[in-house]
Structures are given as C-alpha cells and as structure tokens.
Structure 1
C-alpha cells in the first residue's frame, strides 16, 4: 500500500515499518477533550478529583487550581478502544487474528501492542521480547479553574416498597459538562497506517473517567497536528497559552499561532512542519472516510510481524 496523498504533508515523519530502534520522527496531535456529561477524574478512594496548582497563563504567574486529566486515564480508554476496533474490523473482514486483551493476555503481535507496548508478564503464550510503547500521553489540565468546573452530587436510596427517599448513600464529585481539557497525543516513529489507526481511535473514544457507566461522555476535537524531530509543546504549555489574555481563543487559527511561537524554540526547526487548519480538516475528512478493510489489516499486521522478526534476529545475533 502506498502513502495516500492526503498524508503526504507528514511523509518525512513516517517510518516505512515499525522498528525496535526508534528514530526521532515525532507527530503530535493537539486536541480539545470537551466534557459532555458529569465526569469523575480521580484515582484515589477519597473520591476527590485529581487537582494541581499551576500558573494561570504564560503571562500571569498567579496560581490557579486546575483539574488534572491524567495521561494514564486517557491512554487506558484509547488503548482498549483500539483493541475493540481491530477485533471488530477483523471480524467484518474475515481476517484471522490472535486473541488479545488488557491486561492479562497481550498477544504482542497486533498493531495495538506494537503502538502501546507490552511485556511478557501477561499470560500471552509468546516468548518474544517486550515491545516499547510509541504512543505518549501527558496529563491534561482543565482550561478553567477547579472552583468553576467541579460539582458535588448527592445520591439517595429509594425504597422499592414505600417509594420514599431514605438516607444519603454517597456523594459524587465530578467535572461539569462543557469543561475543556487541552490535550496532546504524541506518536514516535509511526507508519502512516498507524497514524490512521490512532486518529480513528482518538475521534471514536467517548467514555472516560472512573464512573463511565453513568457519565463520562467526552468529545475529542483535533485542532492541530505537527511533525518534527522532537515535540513542539506540552499540554501544560498549551493550556497556559490558551489562558493568555492576548490569545484567549479556542480557534484552530489561534492554535496554529501558538505552535508557530513554539516552533522557534525547537532544536531542529528546519525538520518540522505545522499543518494549517485547512490541512488538518482535509486529513480528518480523509481518515474518517478511510475503511479498515482486509487489505489494510493484512499490511498492518505484516508490519508488526516484521517488527518482531527484527527483534528475534537481533536476539539471535547476541547469542
């Protein structure tokens, strides 16, 4: 399969096939994770939201408390979404694949394992070497302050017999709808096929948080894409720039302006590209309409097998 013309703008930052020895080719996908239902972003049994103190903006050192959307929470949802997407697409295309699921049985032979990494600590029957991750997530920080976006909901028990409210059962502290978390997903040394898979996963993941069975709806909107020999920007810098009094805009044009500012800080400026808002839109339209058919799956899985062959040959040479 040849590189689609819609992805040629990033052609210098793709690899021909995944390799255990990573290069510096880096693609960053900037997005807004917009909360559309009450969402619980916590990790502790205290039921408190994860929060952190940061400067208000790049121009204002005033401290502000923000809700933290941990990278591990973003990764967990999107990694599982890729596993489901691959399994469903393989079933529809009648393409046989190895059983693979988190966290007890990683096949270490599929595009999900090749991107997100895996170890032989799982119950996988393979005895091959571990796989490094090539997808990186960082903590995303709420655009608004904690006080503006948190809400506590009280739950009461209702008797089936009397249909009356009993004592309070619990409290749920959550993030309000319409809260925005500027976020970044960073891809290292990926193929164009892997970019398509990752973009489909980002766009199709909608449930996040600790209690997604009764909330946690999120809409991921891609607002910027960069290619380079290094990362352009971090989520905290992204959030602080968007909070700048001069740049207080969530438009794609403003995101591009912010990225051009950070391009000046790169060590390899001539080895970098920032997609325009129009190029981002065209790429998203192409990827959304791209079909994961048997031909695509065959090539994607062949790439992973080639990756594993390189590992095995390297291990054999060392013996």
Structure 2
C-alpha cells in the first residue's frame, strides 16, 4: 500500500473490510465551514434561515441567536459529490450496469461506495426480500454559526429584466441570505470505515464548494479540517464544539485551539486510553498527497460489492 496512506495512531480505527456489523471504531472530523459568498442553506421555496437561541459560549450563558445549517443540507451535497468523485475516478467502463446508473434518491444500486457509506433505502416494490436497507456509517449534525444571527443575515431583493428594454420593474421579492465569511464549526462522525473510505470522504468534503439553494449564482462554502479524533465513542458534539469555539481567540488560530478543545473533551471520554487526537492541517497535507486514482476507487467498489454479496448470502441463510 502507498506509504503516504499511513495515518499513524489513527490506523487502528480503520477496518480492513466492510462488515455486516458495525464496530466501536469511531473517527470524528472537526471542521470549519466558512461562507465565501451570499448563501441560502434552505432549498425549500420559503428560503428563510433556520435560527436557534443558544448560550453565547461555553463560559457565557447569556442567550445568542445563531444561524443553523441543518445536517440534511450538509449531507445531501456531500453525498452526491462523493458519488461523482468515486465513479469518475473508477471509470464507468469498469462498473456494472447498476453501479453506472446509481443515483439519488430513487435509483440506489446498494453496492457502490456511496451506498455502503452513506446508507441506502430500497424504493423498489414487489421484489420480496431481494432488497434491503443499508445503515449509514457517516453521521452529520446541525452546525451553528459562530457569529450572531443579526451580524451575518442580510435581506436581498431580486427582480427580472425586460428583454427588449433591458429595464427592471418593481422588485419581485426578497430572500434572506447569510453574508460571506460566516463561520460554522461542525463535526462529522465516521464509524467502521476503511482507509480508502476515509481518504475519499475527506477529499470529497475538502473539495466540495457549493451548498444550499441558487448555487448557480451563490452558495460558495470552503471547508477547513481543524482536527481529527479517534476512539470507541463520539468524543465531542457539534454544539459543544461551537460553544467552545465561540470563546475569544478561536479564529486567530483555529487549528491550535481545536487541538486544545479535543484534549479537553478527551478527558470526559469513557475509553480515554483509546483516544487518538491529530491536527487537521497535518491530516489535510497527507490527504493531498494521496491520489484518488482508479486503483483506489476500484478497490472501494470491490469492497462495496463484497459487502453487498455478504448481505445476499445472509438473507439466503435467514430464509432457510
């Protein structure tokens, strides 16, 4: 295996193959999502922002209204991007027909890297027990803004241009946008992942740039990996991370501050002797060195197919 795919102490949390049963091996990615354009996270017609009242920080209990980036709005974008990346890297000519046609949300093949990592629910009827649901091994949670709602929200009007006169009439309406350089610390949790899945997933997250509605003209977001922590449990929640990050000085050196936060919360872990903490910048540089090439992608497809075959065999045995 490529020497650049050595992640030191984190190695013990990877699985060699995807099993029918999840292990306790848990890897958490601590991220900072930063808007680089006006952004509307909600794709529903109303377009309003989701807001929530929370403490100002872990040391200040006074209320603060924050913008919420719902987990579903994060997962939907990255799930599709992950599928595009691994399928492109593998080459469609190397995939079977079901894998080629795998698409969200009503045509999931249930035997590709996206399906076995993000989960898949069968939408087909009349096939008895030939289809099954696959439980996800990547977990998202709501991300909360570091900044107060009133500092990062902005109402923007929109109108239409008459083709002949190139003039505009009365404004058609308005949308509530998140302004550029708003910060959303969050945590993504991976369970029982292979090393290839870890690499491909991080490449997906760190290269994903468009979130929310109206991405043809807005919605640029840049993701920064601040830290990685492995263990037999979830060490920190996104809310805890946000409240710690709101304390003064976090944005001046977010990687160092995140490392301190992870060390603090590792002391609360039930399995402290199994906790491994790593800096986000070091992992990011290592991920950049590893190409998402055909060999890696096809290895992921092969392991996904083996997992699918295990499910078929398990289903046959259960019917005897």
Pick the TM interval, shorter chain: over 0.9
The 1:139–1:111 alpha-carbon spacing in structure 2 relative to 1, beyond 3 Å, is same
TM-superposition CA deviations, 1:233-283 (whole Å, max 9, x none):
1111111101124767542111100111100111000011001x3xx4333
Task: Please say if 1:31 is aligned against 2:31.
Answer: yes
Tell me the secondary structure at the aligned position of residue 206 of structure 1: coil
Q: Say whether the 8 Å CA contact 1:6–1:283 is kept in structure 2.
A: no
Match of 2:269 among 266, 271, 276: 266
Q: Distance in 1 between matches of 2:44 and 2:4?
A: 45
Q: Distance in 1 between matches of 2:95 and 2:313?
A: 25
Task: Please say if 1:196 is aligned against 2:194.
Answer: no
Map 1:56-205 → 2, pairs under 5 A: 56-91=56-91, 94-97=93-96, 98=99, 99-121=101-123, 127-205=130-208
Tell me the secondary structure at the aligned position of residue 302 of structure 2: helix
Q: Distance in 2 between matches of 1:248 and 1:57?
A: 14
The residue that corresponds to 2:238 in the other structure is: 235
The residue that corresponds to 2:12 in the other structure is: 12
In structure 1, the gaps of 5 or more residues are: none
Q: Distance in 2 between matches of 1:5 and 1:88?
A: 21
In structure 2, the gaps of 5 or more residues are: none
Aligned residues: 315
Deviation at 1:300, TM superposition (A): 1.2
Q: Distance in 1 between matches of 2:73 and 2:47?
A: 15
The 1:103–1:243 alpha-carbon spacing in structure 2 relative to 1, beyond 3 Å, is same
Deviation at 1:298, TM superposition (A): 2.6
Q: Say whether the 8 Å CA contact 1:3–1:192 is kept in structure 2.
A: no
Q: Distance in 1 between matches of 2:124 and 2:173?
A: 36
Tell me the secondary structure at the aligned position of residue 142 of structure 1: strand
The residue that corresponds to 1:317 in the other structure is: 317
Q: Say whether the 8 Å CA contact 2:111–2:307 is kept in structure 1.
A: no
Q: Distance in 1 between matches of 2:5 and 2:48?
A: 47
The 1:176–1:34 alpha-carbon spacing in structure 2 relative to 1, beyond 3 Å, is same
The 1:233–1:122 alpha-carbon spacing in structure 2 relative to 1, beyond 3 Å, is farther
The 1:3–1:135 alpha-carbon spacing in structure 2 relative to 1, beyond 3 Å, is farther
Q: Distance in 1 between matches of 2:274 and 2:311?
A: 29
The 1:298–1:64 alpha-carbon spacing in structure 2 relative to 1, beyond 3 Å, is same
Which TM-score applies when normalising by structure 2? 0.92
Q: Which moved more, 1:235-244 or 1:281-290?
A: 281-290
Q: Say whether the 8 Å CA contact 2:130–2:312 is kept in structure 1.
A: no
TM-superposition CA deviations, 1:66-91 (whole Å, max 9, x none):
11000100000000001111221122
Q: Distance in 2 between matches of 1:263 and 1:202?
A: 24
Tell me the secondary structure at the aligned position of residue 239 of structure 2: helix
Q: Say whether the 8 Å CA contact 1:34–1:219 is kept in structure 2.
A: yes
Deviation at 1:26, TM superposition (A): 0.4
Which TM-score applies when normalising by structure 1? 0.92
Tell me the secondary structure at the aligned position of residue 168 of structure 1: coil
Q: Distance in 2 between matches of 1:212 and 1:162?
A: 28
Map 1:280-295 → 2, pairs under 5 A: 280-295=280-295
Map 1:236-255 → 2, pairs under 5 A: 236-245=239-248, 249-255=252-258
